[in-house]
Amino acid sequence: MPAITPITSDELHRQILRRGTRAVVDFYQASCAPCRALEPRLERIAGRYLGRVAAYRVDLDNDPDAAQRFDVLSLPTVLAIVDGQETARLDGLITDPQLQQLFDQLAPEARR
C-alpha cells in the first residue's frame, strides 16, 4: 500500500479542514526533476508514519488551480497541515533530514 495518496485540491481542501487531521501535502509536476527525485524519498519517510500522519500528493498538471489555492510558488512544495492550518512549508531542493523533521513535528510520538 502506498504511503502517499494522490488527491485533487478540492478533495484535499475537504480532508484537511477536519479537526485532528495531521497531514503532509506534496505539490508536484511530472516534468519537474526535483519533484521526481523527491517522490521515492517522501514515500519512504511517509511509510514510517502510516496511521499517524496522512500524506497526499497534488499533481499541478492535472489540478493547476491548486497552486494558487495553496500559494505554491515553486516546485516541489511540501506543506505540513494540522487541523486545517499550514504549520510548515518546504520547497525547492528538499533534503531527507528536512522531511524527517517535518514528520517528527507532526507526530513526535511516532519517531522512527
pLDDT per residue as tens digits for the range 48-58: 999 899 999 99
**Which set of grid coordinates corresponds to residue 4?**
502517499
Superfamily designation of domain 5-103 = Glutaredoxin (3.40.30.10)
H-helix segments, 1-112? 9-16, 33-47, 65-69, 96-106
Active-site positions read 32, 35
Residue 21: name the closest of 85, 76, 64 by CA: 85
CB 3 within 8 A of CB 40: no
- Is the pLDDT at 110 greater than 50, yes or no? no
Distance CA 48, CA 69 (A): 29
Confidence (pTM):
0.91
The pLDDT tens digits for 3-47 are: 999 999 889 888 777 667 899 999 999 999 999 999 999 999 999
